[in-house]
Amino acid sequence: MIGRLNHVAIAVPDLEAAAAQYRCTLGAEVGPAQDEPEHGVTVIFITLPNTKIELLHPLGAESPIGAFLAKNPAGGIHHICYEVEDILAARDRLKASGARVLGTGEPRIGAHGKPVLFLHPKDFNGCLVELEQA
Amino acid sequence: MIGRLNHVAIAVPDLEAAAAQYRCTLGAEVGPAQDEPEHGVTVIFITLPNTKIELLHPLGAESPIGAFLAKNPAGGIHHICYEVEDILAARDRLKASGARVLGTGEPRIGAHGKPVLFLHPKDFNGCLVELEQA
């Protein structure tokens, strides 16, 4: 059911410092900062040959990243995103297995303009898992 | 400098349960459990179309995963691994930038039989980063 690893998301306390580190020290291809007000984040995508790293920084007081950084001030890996072909079929299969879908249970449009869902970390070895319809 | 994302490593409290979840619920290609006594872990590799997930479980009392699971009993993302062409050149570039290399600073042979190094999470946004010579 799951396909490619679409991205690994890393919450960072200083977006520009993290971007500079990936660009200059690690020599990676780093994109521009993009505000995503409907998701409460500013993101920078790092393009690796086979997948992406998504640097996340809070945008606004309601940001879902704020609490994570309060608990992990140095930052940390926030979630991993797997691609699926059919997000509603994936959701129904997961729910039938007992996994909890976060929020309303209906897909939202994610930062890439595609339908996404998040799964409860307690059901997936402590990992917040995002599914994105590829 | 960094190339492909070689793998994302997830520490899990119950290796067989996690493998079954990835195989049956998430429909992924899950390999056999492999004991790596020199690294203090038992690993299961999950092959995605573009990268791998490495499920990690402690092996032996000295396992580096033991303390992580004591702190995160449900499990969690333990590290990410980037490929590099020349691990000694990568190490020297990172050290020159002020990043700390864990252990002796000399590459060890990792679970894939290739030279690896780990970088201090405090220098990389709270992420434990492994470098593997591809």
pLDDT digits 0-9 by tens, A2-30: 999 999 999 999 999 999 999 999 999 99
The pLDDT score that the predictor gives to residue B110 is 83
User: Buried b / exposed e across A8-24, counting CB within 10 Å, b at 16+?
Assistant: bbbbbbebeebbebbee
With cut-offs at 50, 70 and 90, classify the pLDDT of residue B112.
confident
Residues of chain A positioned with their CB less than 8 A from the CB of B21: 124-125
Token pair 């970088």 in the structure block, residue: B119
Contacting A with CB below 8 Å, chain B residues are 1-5, 8, 10-13, 18, 21, 24-28, 48-51, 53, 55, 72, 74-77, 80, 82, 93-94, 97, 99, 121-122, 124-127
Residues 6+ apart with CB under 8 A from A123: A98, A99, A100
Residue B80 has pLDDT above 80, yes or no: yes
Tokens of B102: 């864990």
Per-residue pLDDT, averaged over B77-105, amounts to 96
Do the Cβ atoms of A48 and B3 come within 8 Å? yes
Per-residue pLDDT, averaged over A110-129, amounts to 93
Contacting B with CB below 8 Å, chain A residues are 1-5, 8, 10-13, 18, 21, 24-28, 48-51, 53, 55, 72, 74-77, 80, 82, 93-94, 97, 99, 121-122, 124-127
Do the Cβ atoms of B125 and A94 come within 8 Å? no
Distance from CA of A1 to the nearest CA of B (A): 5
The pLDDT score that the predictor gives to residue A54 is 97
Find the CB nearest B8 among A1, A8, A21. Answer: A8
Per-residue pLDDT, averaged over B28-38, amounts to 96
The pLDDT score that the predictor gives to residue B42 is 97
The pLDDT score that the predictor gives to residue B93 is 96
Find the CB nearest B28 among A2, A28, A125. Answer: A2
H/E element holding A102? Answer: none
Residues of chain A positioned with their CB less than 8 A from the CB of B82: 26, 48
> For B5-133, which CATH class?
alpha beta
Per-residue pLDDT, averaged over B96-104, amounts to 94
Burial class (CB in 10 A: 0-12, 13-18, 19+), A31: middle
Mean pLDDT for all residues in chain B: 96
pLDDT digits 0-9 by tens, B39-69: 899 999 999 999 999 999 999 988 999 999 9
Residue A111 has pLDDT above 80, yes or no: no
With cut-offs at 50, 70 and 90, classify the pLDDT of residue A110.
confident
Phi then psi for A7, rounded to 5 degrees?
A: -165, 160
Of all residues in chain B, the percent with pLDDT exceeding 90 is 93
Query: Which amino acids of B are annotated catalytic?
Result: 130
The pLDDT score that the predictor gives to residue A116 is 96
Q: How many A×B Cβ pairs under 8 Å?
A: 110
pLDDT digits 0-9 by tens, A43-100: 999 999 999 999 999 999 889 999 999 999 999 999 999 999 999 999 999 999 999 9
Do the Cβ atoms of B75 and A126 come within 8 Å? yes
Residue B111 has pLDDT above 80, yes or no: no
ipTM: 0.95
Alpha helices in A21-112 (DSSP H): 66-71, 87-96
* A106 classed as catalytic: no
Distance from CA of A37 to the nearest CA of B (A): 23
